[in-house]
Structure 1
Amino acid sequence: MEVGQIAAEESREKIKEVLSGADMIFITAGEGGGTGTGAAPVIAEIAKKDVGALTVAVVTKPFLFEGARRRVQAEEGIEKLKENVDTLIIIPNQRLMDVVKKDQTLLDAFKTADSVLGQGVQSISDLITIPGLVNVDFADVKSVMTNAGSALMGVGRASGEKRAIIAANAAISSPLLEISIDGAKGILFNIAGGERLTLSEINEASSIITQSADPDANIIFGTTIREDLGEDIQISVIAAGFDSIRHFNPVSGPSNFFKPTPAEPKPIVPETVPERTDPPKSSPAGKYKLQHDEVSIEDDLDIPTFLRNKY
């Protein structure tokens, strides 16, 4: 871990030069080893504080069989990373065991994870770059993801009579993600479909996505007509602003991909809330020119294949 950190520190100026000019930066890392765990926080600090970009980290946590030492290192790396990113998305590798079949090959198992991660990252880019009937721009993304902490991103696609309901549930309940949408204080989602996309379907999907959010959540909605989807409907969701990262214990047996992950119960703690004397101030959202770079940190099998190969 120290080796990765030292290497990144020594290359600080070069990293800053590479990232300079980007408005949004994705950092991907496999936590628990030396390279990703040590270098990712340094790169995140440069991206967010020096470059001033919206910084999103997508990291994996090690399998249980990799041992306690690696898990502890992963948690330490994640804590350091949280201090230097706007949004953090965590994928525990162990949750692959809940998704794949017992006879599924290792390569196919990783392809499953790749698909979820690839679609999630791509969905953020698509929200910004693809014009929509109800448009979402970079200012909207920033309003949800800036200093948001832990986050959920997902994509659901379905066809048939209940396609909107199925796609919405799939988008918010990926078994590979460590948190559910419950209690989110910021939600940005886009519904895409062909010309036969109906207002009723948009209403059904929107209700499922927003019903578990915080009552005062900042919700931003967009819709896109895409003939390439044919009879399918595709829903992209970004949810952020949770009170804390909620951990899940690995469970055995298959999971239902379309079944929402239940939120952990929170204890009710009485507290006195002082009255606000001055109304909160908000700054108007500006327009931004979008560029986004991805810094990919290779670390054994922890980092998804599609991110290793893409760059």
Structure 2
Amino acid sequence: MLIEYDGLQDQRARIKVIGVGGAGGNAVHRMIEENLKDVEFIAVNTDAQALNENPAEIKIQIGANLTRGLGAGANAKIGYQAALESKDRLEDMVRDTDLIFITAGMGGGTGTGAAPVIAEIAKNSGALTVGFVTKPFEFEGDLRMRQAAEGIERLREHVDTLIVIPNEKLFDVVDDDTPFEDAFYIADSILNQGTAGISDLITKRGLINLDFADVKTIINRKGPAVIGVSRCSGADRAVRAAESAIHCPLLENNSISGAQGLLINFTGGHDMKIKEIHKAMSMIREEAGKDANIIFGALIDPKMEDELLVTVIATGFNMKHAEGNNRNENDSIPKSVLPETHPPIYNATEENTFATEKEQISIFNPTPAKPRCDIPVFGESFHSNETYFPLDDKKDDLSVPAFTRRLFRRK
């Protein structure tokens, strides 16, 4: 009997990476430079100048009326309101997407304030949503760390899985001579490799095939996650690659012990042996525990001679350690960052006003921010009390906040 398939269509999963704010935009920029395929890149920012320099295919300026393209001034409340102002454009951005990565730096303005809003919009659209964020260096001060902690908790409410890299852990993997820029490339490489690994799982046909449904089964578990990718060659390559993948020193969680879900994929050439895969899988299973739901795949790539690539995604960890340090029982943070009514906390027709340090501790407080002078307040941020930079060097430097560049141009 002949069976005919009527209307068989290409159902390839659509994957987007959204970089929010300065750090998120930088991560997207570096991923584009790495020539990652089968992924759509989007940059979202309040800073029009930084956005213009980003090579992403799609660029969305949020809060144009609110900030006039001059950035959020390290004020997460402004980033939050900017995202609400541009909610319709953000909804169009995530429409008809299967998997969305949202990357941002926590502790500043746009990334901290807007990323949770974008995550909720993405989840409401039905997309599988993964958050990938960094935490500030300790020397950036308590205020910025508190803002980051609250931003992470708000983001956690609206993503299926959250991966956190503390910038402080960069010191564990770099030497004294490592340039500043190179250190951030190392952190961004985890997002790059993790995104590429998941994309390959979904889009490439495997010897033991995995698809989007398998990825969704593992990622669709609330809580922290570990995404590790490692490539090794030579003796014991599979075990060594697996060990490296599950113990990434940069991740906030750098062990798969206690994970409820594991997605593991091996990619190698025609010389990939079943016995070496068995050894690596046995080691991973022992590390994770017997109760973990393990989904396993294998992909043959003829170009990989003597090399073996291991991708590990571990999810469903216990949340007690993540919640205990960042939230108090009396905290009244609503689960939704998209209120049904939006009380105005900022007058877009006036000059930018910045919240005091006390007000910024609760970055999503819907009460109005008290007016201040137009001079930016850094508080306990990276630059501490050194808020002025040489005019000649910094007025066009995109690493300097937009509102500071504006002050330089006025002088």
1:197 maps to 2:272: yes
Aligned-pair CA distance for 1:215? 2.3
Aligned-pair CA distance for 1:245? 6.8
Can you list the C-alpha shifts for 1:45-77, whole angstroms capped at 9, x where unaligned?
00002x111011100000111111100100000
AA in 2 matched with 1:55: T
Question: Which of 79, 89, 95 lines up with 2:153 in the alignment?
Answer: 79
Q: What secondary structure, in the 3-state scheme, does the structure 1 residue paired with 2:287 have? A: coil
Aligned-pair CA distance for 1:97? 0.2
Gapped runs of 5+ residues in structure 2?
A: 1-75, 323-397, 402-411
CA distance in 2, matches of 1:60, 1:120: 15
1:66 maps to 2:66: no
Aligned match of 1:160: 234
Aligned match of 1:250: none
Alpha carbons of 1:64 and 1:300: their partners in 2 closer, same or farther (altered >3 Å)? Answer: farther
Question: Which of 93, 103, 117 lines up with 1:28 in the alignment?
Answer: 103
AA in 1 matched with 2:164: I
Structure showing greater radius of gyration is: 2
Aligned match of 2:349: none
Aligned match of 1:182: 257
Gapped runs of 5+ residues in structure 1?
A: 248-297, 302-311
Q: TM-score, normalised by structure 1?
A: 0.77
CA distance in 1, matches of 2:294, 2:201: 14
Identity, % of aligned pairs? Answer: 53
Q: Kindly report structure 1 stretches of 4+ aligned residues shifted beyond 4 Å.
A: 298-301
Question: Which of 64, 88, 91 lines up with 2:162 in the alignment?
Answer: 88
Alpha carbons of 1:299 and 1:237: their partners in 2 closer, same or farther (altered >3 Å)? Answer: farther
Aligned-pair CA distance for 1:299? 9.3
CA distance in 2, matches of 1:147, 1:167: 25
AA in 2 matched with 1:150: P
CA distance in 2, matches of 1:10, 1:187: 38
AA in 2 matched with 1:168: A
AA in 1 matched with 2:281: S
AA in 2 matched with 1:156: S
Aligned match of 1:137: 211
1:4 maps to 2:75: no
Aligned match of 2:123: 48
CA contact (8 A) 1:150 1:245 kept: no
Aligned match of 1:238: 313
Q: TM-score, normalised by structure 2?
A: 0.59
| Aligned positions, number | 250
Aligned-pair CA distance for 1:111? 2.1
Alignment of 1:292-307 (within 5 A): none
Aligned match of 2:195: 121
Alpha carbons of 1:206 and 1:190: their partners in 2 closer, same or farther (altered >3 Å)? Answer: same
CA distance in 2, matches of 1:300, 1:88: 28
The answer to which structure, 1 or 2, has the higher relative contact order (CA under 8 A, 6+ apart) is 1
CA distance in 1, matches of 2:190, 2:113: 25
Aligned match of 1:287: none
